[in-house]
């Protein structure tokens, strides 16, 4: 599994912690580091860039971090085919994958501490889409997403 990670200026410390944690566990992780060399890069473009990498199939999953995680989730969900959610607890992170088949998890450095963040990411990475009763709901989300991105095909 190939993972990418990125953050805005409000989450540099948490990104470093999670990157090192996953690297030490042998996870294939890439720091996209979108803002390097760019003046005033803001979370919308950073989160969008990460989501576009997921959409292109360059990575299987992504971790996007800002002050709260909320803005990163909002922008990632604007990219067709990408599902993202903000998680600050283990149960939600597991459900993000098992029930919603989301490829991107977002977090907020101003909301969560580094040790809990590691635990949450570990749980998210070992979780897979369970299908079952969630499968028709995810399929419906994908169909509604098509209406949003391609309204001419109603």
Determine the 3-state secondary structure of 92 from DSSP: helix
Rg (CA), the chain: 15
CB 47 within 8 A of CB 22: no
Q: Is 66 a catalytic residue?
A: yes
Q: Residue count of the chain, please give it.
A: 154
Determine the 3-state secondary structure of 5 from DSSP: strand
List the domains of the chain with CATH numbers: 2-153 (3.40.1400.10)
Classify residue 154 by its DSSP letter: -
Mean pLDDT of 101-114: 97
CA atoms within 13 A on the CB side of 142: 11
Confidence of residue 154 (pLDDT cuts 50, 70, 90): low
Per-residue pLDDT of 53-92, as tens digits, reads 999 999 999 999 999 999 999 999 999 999 999 999 999 9
CB atoms within 10 A of CB 86: 22
Per-residue pLDDT of 7-51, as tens digits, reads 999 999 999 999 999 999 999 999 999 999 888 999 999 999 999
Identified catalytic residue from 4, 7, 66, 87: 66
**Token duo for residue 46:** 């950073």
Per-residue pLDDT of 133-151, as tens digits, reads 889 999 998 998 888 888 8
Q: What are the two backbone dihedrals, phi and then psi, of residue 40, each rounded to the nearest 5 degrees?
A: 60, 35
């Amino acid at each position: 599994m190939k993972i990418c990670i990125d953050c805005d200026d409000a989450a540099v410390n948490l990104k470093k912690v999670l990157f090192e944690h996953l690297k030490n566990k042998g996870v294939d992780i890439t720091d996209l580091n979108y803002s390097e060399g760019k003046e005033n890069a803001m979370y919308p473009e950073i989160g969008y860039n990460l989501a576009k990498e997921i959409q292109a199939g360059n990575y299987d999953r992504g971790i996007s971090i800002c002050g709260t995680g909320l803005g990163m989730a909002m922008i990632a969900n604007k990219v067709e085919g990408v599902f993202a959610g903000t998680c600050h607890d283990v149960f939600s992170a597991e459900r993000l994958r098992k029930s919603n088949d989301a490829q991107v998890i977002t977090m907020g450095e101003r909301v969560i501490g580094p040790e809990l963040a590691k635990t949450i990411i570990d749980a998210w990475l070992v979780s897979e889409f369970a299908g079952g009763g969630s499968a028709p709901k995810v399929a419906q989300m994908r169909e509604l997403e098509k209406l949003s991105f391609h309204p001419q095909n109603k």
